[in-house]
Amino acid sequence: MRTLATTSPSFDSDFVALRAHADEVDLNITNTVADVISRIRAEGDRALIELTQRFDRLDLTPAELRIDPREIAIAAATITPKLKNALELAAARIEAFHRTQLPSDLHFTDAVGADLGVHWTPLDSVGIYVPGGKASYPSSVLMNAIPARIAGVPRIAMVVPAPDNMLDPLVLAAAHLAGVNEIYRIGGAQAVAALAYGTPTIRPVDRIVGPGNAYVAEAKRQVFGRVGIDNIAGPSEILIIADAKNNPSHIALDLIAQAEHAADSQCILITTDPVLADLTAAAISDALRTLPRAAIAAESLRQHGAIILARDLDEAAGLANRIAPEHLQIMTKNPQYLLSQIRHAGAIFVGPYAPTAIGDYVAGPNHVLPTASTSRFSSGLSVLDFLKRSTIVSLNLPALAAIGPAAVTLAEAENLHGHGRSIRARLGTNEL
């Protein structure tokens, strides 16, 4: 990993270069995804089947796109008791945390007698994308499906690629546990397009959530507006702020845990202690020797990782807000002081015993988080992503008489005289 020091004259330019990969746009991906979406819209199941054969080497008929509910139940019954217990613990904790997010309807009567309020209702349908292929993520099934179910979404459709007809039973078991039985063995941009626009076999949904590769992220970007989306996920990120009183081996493993996701993941340590920086770098080298995904993690750390030496923790907090990371770990003597200065982060883990990895599975909060500095304006997945709110206005004649004249004045100022007449007619006067 490269080492940067904030005292270096070139630090600002080096820091910008370090973060530049988050802004990269691959026009080849953009164009490819646009072509895929166009084909799905024009050809429906035929294009979906042809693209699935091309990319996943899987020959399907329209009837085989959807996984039989019996196959889901069989998969759920075949996992080991240890895995079943782990899934159930994760599901219970995710559900308990997300139930606290359910909002209440609002109603009040204001000073003029107007009854005003907010009414929350669930979406009619949601599509969940679950990655497949190189890695299998049953945890993503739980993180996406459980909040949707808590919100009251009546239809949850899931897509998961099955390259070479290989599909992890654990993913199906997680879906079964989360109450999802509409599952399609498709992936990539074509699956996102099918969820957004529908095909003869797959009904369209109202919102698409869940992580995927660069093609999936680009497809979600391109279908946004036709459907809602959670976010446009980029490479996984972790930022750790640590002082001298920490175990460098733990920090090294926390960085590696995110680096092993993919070679484009970004892992950064900010510390005020040069000795901790050196010890952590050495610990990373040692840990990589026995890691099954060492090649991926090493590439990530070499290309996109960094150790930054800061003057003090206040400067570290400022850098953290500039990065606005997906995951932030605070490992300092007084973490609450540093926490009070953080404005932008997808999820924050406080103290030496709260590694980011625990949040990926069983902590309870969602692991679908904003990346590429988008935590400046967005948040992680929650129950609110599966709800929408309607405002309510109820007026009696005295209330309309109290506020109507001002509305007429504004309507006429905007040259929208029909608006004004709509109000005047109820007040029974031509002049106000």
Handedness of CA 20, 23, 26, 29 (dihedral sign): positive
Residue type for position 303: Q
Cβ count near 342 (within 10 Å): 17
End-to-end CA distance of the chain: 73
Contact between residue 325 and residue 345 where contact means Cβ atoms under 8 Å apart: yes
Q: Which of 236, 279, 271, 251 is nearest to 135 (CA)?
A: 236
Contact between residue 348 and residue 328 where contact means Cβ atoms under 8 Å apart: yes
Handedness of CA 36, 39, 44, 45 (dihedral sign): negative
| Continuous segment of H or E residues that includes residue 399 | helix 397-413
DSSP string for residues in 219-279: HHHHHBTTBEES----S-EEEEEE-SSS-HHHHHHHHHHHHTT-TT-EEEEEES-HHHHHH
DSSP string for residues in 42-82: HHTHHHHHHHHHHHH-----HHHHBPPHHHHHHHHHHS-HH
Q: What is the set of active-site residues? A: 326-327
Cα separations (Å) of 274 from 269, 309, 319?
Answer: 12, 7, 17
